[in-house]
Chains A and B, each alone.
Chain A
């Protein structure tokens, strides 16, 4: 079981979609919401996500394919 921290950024057309709940129902991940800011146009959520490595990778791929940006809550590690 691995634990990752994801910063999800949603485009407007996904705000009303149950994207995060599908991480649980379709990808068997355990999620723990830490912070969020969502309005009608755009939104972000910071999650702690638990699961085995394969499911985490599949969950991330699902989000990215859906149009959600998945990033590290701490920002990029690679700097100038």
Chain B
């Protein structure tokens, strides 16, 4: 059961001659089995926090702990390995590889996971497709799918290596109402299944599903709103 702790996190960017503070002394904890929402205006630092938790970016100051282990100090190879094993990303723009079919997109993370043999990969892909109700789309390319279907493929890809943490950056930003609900329900199910799900979203619907909501304002994280 994973536990994530962000401690005294600062992130600064240099923009021309200016220094922009995207995160200012953020302290927060996330636990397994819950769905967390981070809301706020554009540019408030929500995605910055998410990507730093996901080890895609490096804090200027502060630390991130996964199960009490300081992961901010890891080298690139170790961070990649942790990302591969423990973290699944879902993006607003889906970010599927348009040159690969649906099943091949889901296979992508499994290539670098030595626990999967060829047969196990096939099995896993089949299982994920069934779970997300896109079993009949296995041999289609992303351009042949609807927005909702694409996002479900992205979720399947994020779940390929059975991560403990799911990080979703505006997962419903490009979807209609019906598909929004479907996606949020999937995320809720995942959290109930024991995963730690952190969602960055503008969508007020998230309040219906989140266990905790944080608000980001100008790089600062306010307390639990909900």
A and B co-occur in one complex: no
Chain A residues at the B interface, C-beta cutoff of 8 Å: none
Chain B residues at the A interface, C-beta cutoff of 8 Å: none
